[in-house]
């Protein structure tokens, strides 16, 4: 058997499928692209609405409410620092991309996670798919997307959603499955219906785990958004990619610092929300 | 006794089996078809028999204790009574209806209105305060907030926790948490309350206090209860009747006195050996016929057939008499001598022997 012929044949098949898709289902992808870019532009418009110092103050206030004064001031200063480096539009663009991707990832991931938590069969079926998504190098997801959606934020969004979804699904499913047995028994003994058991018992117990999933999704989205700079996502990712190509090390470090700041502010915020949910439970 | 026996039977559990394991269906067939026992079922089918051929009746107004050590199947048995666990074989009738044949809606209704349950783990919802927890049963039944809160407040008052209704479970001690658990069961006003080792995790003093309160409350409200415990003292303190379980089998059912005086086998005998008879054994089970007593009964102190050993010792030590005359409705029915009394203290069934 001639193995050397296999790879070209396989590649040809993939190419055929992709061009068939873009020829015959082009309107679908164009539509998807419009929706994704619409969502991204809407959020971008929203975060660019207030001047940078208002955003910095709002971020500071939110962190202060959840984590105390010291961290609040630190968060506000860090945001001002991003603007000071002349990276404010890029920072907001990245923020918009992360928010858009996380919203889509959670909109798909949370219901799927709940369903998997309630149906062990679905959970078992999803597990290998999620394993596959999480073990593949993340930039793989850029390639099919770019073929179908073209260069730009829509491609970045799709790839980011794929990477950000698994933790939300896994941790939501886990949270739903981990309802202490005695409470399930209590619900049965009280004659509680299925919907009530879900909303009044299973869901409240799952909230801390779900919040951890939200946090993880957000972090994955941040990581992917930088990689997506290659496909013209705009924002800090593209700044870093461009700076690396020109060997402008200083500029790439500036942008990296801005990313770290943005990531840390959002990470702390969602983590302390998860901690608050956990505390309410005890 | 006759009155008790004619009282309405609320739960009638008829030869119920529960077999756990993958091949339980085959195992059940073998049990019904070939009369296989527990050991053979485990060996041939790898199935564990949780409850084996258990029959019991719980009557209206009675507290029925099921006593057994861990692994005796008592927790499985109580869950069969409200079908938290499906019986493999046999029938469980609740208020004359077979719960195995109930559809989901009827079963939910029965659990919500007729059978309350209190758990060893208490299972108070941590996100809700005491009042919301106590009202939870009515909440899931769709009772409006005003009405369910009023009912919950009333039941919290019964367990003495009115001042704590806005606190959260984590702020309460173990004993108080279990009172909330009891209040939650009472809020739905069920006729039957299933108590699954509710006091086992509490310290001894609080436990005794709750035992007494529970018995009093149940009697006052006219409820019936099935009470699971691994503690014979607790069963004796609380129960009108006691069932002793071992390895999934009910070995003996009877009043505390019947079990202490006539243990069905060596296992029960060993169990009751350490139990104080002072308040358990009554004059009627120790006395001898008046004719068997040589002396004249006229001068003896008197007591009723229901007087316990403690009372009789009091009478004897106060009067210096050798015996006590047992009277019922003014007629002499028997004599308890010091010898009978001493044998009664040891719980020997031959206490009646002259």
* Whether A254 contacts A51, CB under 8 Å: no
| B209-219 pLDDT tens trace | 999 999 999 99
Q: How far is B37 from chain A (nearest CA, A)?
A: 30
pLDDT at B186: 92
- Taking an 8 Å cut-off on Cβ atoms, the answer to whether B117 and A189 are in contact is yes
pLDDT over 70, % of chain A: 98
pLDDT at A231: 86
Nearest CB partner across the interface for A196, out of B115, B121, B140: B140
Neighboring chain B residues of A181 at a CB cutoff of 8 Å: none
| B302-351 pLDDT tens trace | 888 888 888 889 988 888 888 888 988 888 888 888 888 888 887 765 65
**CATH label of the domain that carries residue A49:** 1.10.3720.10
* Whether B351 contacts B286, CB under 8 Å: yes
Tell me whether residue A271 is in a domain: yes
The mean per-residue pLDDT over the stretch A233-259 comes to: 89
pLDDT at A187: 92
Tell me whether residue A15 is in a domain: no
Nearest CB partner across the interface for A200, out of B123, B126, B140: B140
Tell me whether residue A22 is in a domain: no
Domain span at residue A88 reads 29-281
- The domain covering B2-9+60-86+100-114+190-272 belongs, at the CATH homologous superfamily level, to P-loop containing nucleotide triphosphate hydrolases (3.40.50.300)
pLDDT at B3: 45
Neighboring chain A residues of B113 at a CB cutoff of 8 Å: 191
| B141-186 pLDDT tens trace | 889 999 999 999 999 998 989 999 899 999 999 889 999 999 999 9
Mean pLDDT (chain B) is: 88
Beta sheet of B89-94, edge-to-edge order? B48-59, B9-20, B89-94, B97-98
Only one residue has tokens 């799927």, namely A112
| B58-88 pLDDT tens trace | 999 999 999 998 888 899 999 999 999 999 8
- Taking an 8 Å cut-off on Cβ atoms, the answer to whether A189 and B194 are in contact is yes
Q: Global pTM?
A: 0.80
Q: How far is B292 from chain A (nearest CA, A)?
A: 56
Neighboring chain A residues of B84 at a CB cutoff of 8 Å: 185, 188-189
The mean per-residue pLDDT over the stretch B27-55 comes to: 84
Neighboring chain B residues of A180 at a CB cutoff of 8 Å: 123
* Band of residue B1 on the pLDDT scale cut at 50, 70, 90: very low
Domain count, chain A: 1
Neighboring chain A residues of B136 at a CB cutoff of 8 Å: 190, 200
SS (H, E, C) chain A: CCHHHHHHHHHHHHHHHHHHHHHHCHHHHHHHHHHHHHHHHHHHHHHHCCCHHHHHHHHHHHHHHHHCHHHHHHHHHHHHHHHHCCCHHHHHHHHHHHHHHHHHHHHHHHHHHHHHHHCHHHHHHHHHHHHHHHHCCHHHHHHHHHHHHCCCHHHHHHHHHHHHHHHHHHHHHHHHHCCCHHHHHHHHHCCCCHHHHHHHHHHHHHHHHHHHHHHHHHHHHHHHHHHHHHHCCCHHHHHHHHHHHCCCHHHHHHHHHHHHHHHHHHHHHHHHHHHHHHHHHC
| A79-122 pLDDT tens trace | 898 888 888 999 999 999 999 999 999 999 999 999 999 999 99
| For testing contact with chain B, the best of A181, A186, A208, A282 (most B CBs within 10 A) | A186
> What's the CATH code, domain B283-352?
3.10.580.10
A202: closest chain B residue by CA: B125
* Whether B210 contacts B181, CB under 8 Å: no
- Taking an 8 Å cut-off on Cβ atoms, the answer to whether A183 and B127 are in contact is no
pLDDT at B31: 82
Return the domain boundaries, chain B. Answer: 2-9+60-86+100-114+190-272, 283-352
* Band of residue A1 on the pLDDT scale cut at 50, 70, 90: low
């Amino acid at each position: 058997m001639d193995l050397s012929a296999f790879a070209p044949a396989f590649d040809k098949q993939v190419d055929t499928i992709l061009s068939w898709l873009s020829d015959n289902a082009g309107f679908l992808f164009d539509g998807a692209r419009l929706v994704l870019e619409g969502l991204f532009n809407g959020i971008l418009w929203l975060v660019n609405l207030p001047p940078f110092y208002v955003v910095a103050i709002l971020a500071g206030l939110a962190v202060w409410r959840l984590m105390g004064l010291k961290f609040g001031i630190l968060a506000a200063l860090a945001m001002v620092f991003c603007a000071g480096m002349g990276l404010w539009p890029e920072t907001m663009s990245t923020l918009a991309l992360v928010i858009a991707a996380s919203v889509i990832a959670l909109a798909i991931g949370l219901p799927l996670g709940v369903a998997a938590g309630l149906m062990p069969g679905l959970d078992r079926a999803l597990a290998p798919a999620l394993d596959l998504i999480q073990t593949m190098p993340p930039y793989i997801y850029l390639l099919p997307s770019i073929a179908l959606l073209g260069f730009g934020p829509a491609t970045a969004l799709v790839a980011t959603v794929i990477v950000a979804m698994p933790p939300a699904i896994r941790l939501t499913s886990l949270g739903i499955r981990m309802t202490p047995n005695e409470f399930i028994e209590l619900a049965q003994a009280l004659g509680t219906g299925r919907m009530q058991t879900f909303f009044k018992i299973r869901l409240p117990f799952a909230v801390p785990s779900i919040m951890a999933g939200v946090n993880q999704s957000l972090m994955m989205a941040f990581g992917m958004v930088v990689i997506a700079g290659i496909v013209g996502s705009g924002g800090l990712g593209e700044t870093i990619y461009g700076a690396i190509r020109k060997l402008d090390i200083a500029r790439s470090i500036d942008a990296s610092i801005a990313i770290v700041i943005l990531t840390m502010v959002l990470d702390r915020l969602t983590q302390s929300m998860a901690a608050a949910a956990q505390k309410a439970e005890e | 006794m006759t009155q008790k026996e004619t009282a309405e039977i609320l739960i009638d559990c008829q030869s119920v089996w529960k077999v756990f394991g993958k091949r339980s269906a085959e195992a059940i067939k073998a049990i019904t078809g070939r009369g296989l026992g527990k050991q053979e079922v485990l060996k041939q089918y790898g199935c564990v028999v949780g409850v084996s051929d258990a029959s019991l009746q719980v009557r209206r107004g009675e507290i029925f204790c099921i006593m057994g050590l861990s692994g005796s199947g008592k927790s499985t048995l109580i869950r069969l009574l409200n079908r938290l666990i499906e019986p493999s074989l046999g029938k469980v009738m609740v208020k004359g209806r077979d719960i195995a044949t109930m559809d989901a809606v009827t079963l939910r209704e029965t659990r919500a209105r007729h059978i309350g349950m209190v758990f060893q783990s208490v299972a108070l919802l941590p996100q809700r305060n005491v009042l919301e927890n106590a009202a939870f049963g009515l909440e899931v039944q769709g009772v409006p907030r005003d009405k369910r809160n009023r009912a919950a407040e009333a039941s919290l008052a019964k367990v003495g926790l009115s001042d704590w209704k806005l606190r959260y479970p984590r702020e309460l001690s173990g004993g108080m948490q279990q009172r909330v658990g009891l209040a939650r069961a009472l809020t739905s006003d069920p006729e039957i309350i299933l108590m699954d080792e509710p006091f086992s995790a509490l310290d001894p003093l609080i436990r005794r206090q709750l035992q007494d309160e529970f018995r009093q409350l149940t009697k006052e409200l006219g409820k019936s209860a099935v009470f699971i415990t691994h503690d014979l003292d607790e069963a004796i303190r609380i129960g009108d009747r006691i069932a002793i379980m071992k390895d999934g089998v009910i070995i003996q059912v009877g009043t505390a006195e019947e079990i202490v005086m006539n243990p069905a086998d060596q296992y029960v005998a060993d169990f009751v050996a350490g139990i104080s008879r002072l308040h358990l054994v009554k004059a009627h089970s120790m006395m001898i016929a008046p004719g068997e007593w040589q002396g004249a009964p006229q001068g003896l102190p008197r007591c009723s057939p229901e007087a316990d050993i403690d009372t009789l010792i009091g009478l004897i030590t106060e009067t210096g008499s050798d015996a006590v005359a047992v009277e019922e409705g003014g007629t002499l029915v028997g004599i308890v001598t010091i010898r009978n009394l001493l044998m009664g203290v040891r719980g020997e069934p031959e206490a009646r022997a002259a």
